[in-house]
Structure 1
Amino acid sequence: MTKNRADPKEQGNSMADTNRLIKVLIVDDHPLIREGIQSLLEGSEDIILVGEASNGLEAIHSYRKIQPDVTIMDIQMPELDGIGAISSIISEFPQACIAVLTTYRGDIRTLKAIKAGARGYLLKSALRHELIETIRVLAAGKRRFPPEIAAELAAHMDQNGLTNREVEVLQHVANGLSNKEAALAMAIGEDTVKGHLRNIMEKLAAHNRTHAVTIGIQRGIIDFSQ
């Protein structure tokens, strides 16, 4: 356990002192990530770790119980993903300050999380440099999206502006269907499918259909499990 976790044995500080600390909830399904965040919080005198959760359902339960000042929320998790958890928490607690935690820059799921109410953005690869400052900024009632990340997200919003039909085509390709099979499944012409694929590859800056599928899965445009 870290020095920053609330510990009933450490009652030397007054309740007033504890109330001045920024209370943080960590939500991630990987224990190593949670441990890494804990260790980064150890040296901070104004932040205290008050809870952990390993999936979206646990996150909602923990938030209701703890009502932390700041929540660090992973996107990809079992049971319920971060987007669903953020939506549920924000609907019940509109003032919730949540920073989305992600592996990929410009992840479409991150855009969805921001639309759902996330107020901050953290790359797992940049936690060491960004975590503490992001927590402090969110606790102060502000948002924190680093300029370079905000620009990249905006760019991806344009690049990933696939139509519903294009997303459907890409999903069929991800499921292993040929152009002809996708055309039959969608009741459209094979040439139309090929046209959609050309548009998809241009919008995603993909080299080929396999690359387009890879980008689509990484950015949350399509679900490989479907």
Structure 2
Amino acid sequence: MTDTQKIRVLIVDDHPLMRVGVAAIIDGQPGMVTVAQAGSGEEALELFETHQPDITLMDLRLPKMSGVETIRAIRQVHAQARFVVLTTYEGDEDIHQALEAGAQGYIIKGMPYESLVQALERVHAGGRFLPLPVKKALATRTPDSELSHRERQVLKLMATGNSNKRIGELLGITEATVKSHVSTILMRLNVVDRTQAVILALQRGLVHF
């Protein structure tokens, strides 16, 4: 089989050792080949244009532009582009955001390498690949838990220990408006206080440090 007949994969991950290891797995398969490796979202955009891969294997945690943002940016230009997410993020919000952006597969680092191979094969064939742990996490998501962009900003600043007054100063809004956002966040997350909100946000992937 020539390289042009193989599934051509672009690997996007900010850890060089991870990229090398994943490339070794892909290149060890008779029907797959790594065409390029990117360490950032910005680099991924350039390499995608150059190589036009069949599938982009995307980490979500990248230095500046996130994996979800990178998927969205590529799909704005290439609507048929296919993505498999390979990440440490296991929260239902992470999974939801990636699938909403256009990913067709989602696997967690630490799963058997066979899952990676299966995901690439299935997505290349036009299907989706969501292993059981991913499906279970997604099933816990409640429809009315969606937060607005501003509420996410407030939640992130809550998670880093800022007071309502300080959050207001940082976002250029009044303390009363911050309190209103906090009340909405607690209601949507179905928790009783800020501490519970932060713990749940970290578990679900609404906030990352």
Please list the CA deviations of residues 34-90 of structure 1 after superposition, one character each: whole Å capped at 9, or x if unmatched. Answer: 122123224311111111000001111111110111110011112321112111111
Aligned partner of 1:138 among 98, 112, 123: 123
- Identical residues among aligned pairs (%): 33
Q: CA deviation at 1:183?
A: 8.0
Helix, strand or coil at the partner of 2:126: coil
Deviation at 1:103, TM superposition (A): 0.7
Cα distance change on mapping 1:140 and 1:192 into 2, 3 Å: closer
Q: Which residue of structure 1 lines up, in the alignment, with residue 103 of structure 2?
A: 118
Spell out the pairing of 1:1-226 with structure 2 (5 A cutoff).
Answer: 17-158=2-143, 160-162=145-147, 167=152, 169-178=154-163, 186-188=174-176, 195-196=183-184, 198-199=186-187, 202=190, 209-210=194-195, 212-217=197-202, 219-222=204-207
Q: Is the 8 A contact 1:71 1:99 kept in 2?
A: yes
Distance 1:136 1:188, change over 3 A: same
Q: TM-score, normalised by structure 1?
A: 0.75
Q: 1:213, CA displacement in angstroms?
A: 2.4
| In 2, Cα distance between equivalents of 1:76 and 1:200 | 25
> What residue in structure 2 maps to residue 3 of structure 1?
none
Let me know the Cα RMSD of the aligned residues.
3.1
Could you list the per-position Cα deviations for residues 125-183 of structure 1 after superposition, in whole angstroms to 9, with x for gaps in the alignment? 11523100111111112121224412321323548434667545423422423357668
Letter aligned with residue 13 of structure 2: D
Which stretch has the larger CA shift, 76-85 or 183-192? 183-192
Asked whether the equivalents of residues 36 and 47 of structure 2 are also in contact (C-alpha less than 8 Å), the reply is yes
Contact persistence 2:89–2:205 (CA under 8 A): no
Residue 140 of structure 2 aligns to a residue whose secondary structure is helix
Deviates more, 1:37-46 or 1:137-146: 37-46
Equivalent position amino acid for 1:84 in 2: E
Question: Which sections of structure 1, spanning at least 5 residues, go unmatched?
Answer: 1-15
Q: How far, CA to CA, are the matches of 1:172 and 1:64 in structure 2?
A: 36
Larger radius of gyration: 1
TM-score between the two structures when normalised by the length of structure 2: 0.80
**Quick one: which amino acid aligns to residue 21 of structure 1?**
K
- Report how far residue 121 of structure 1 moved: 0.4
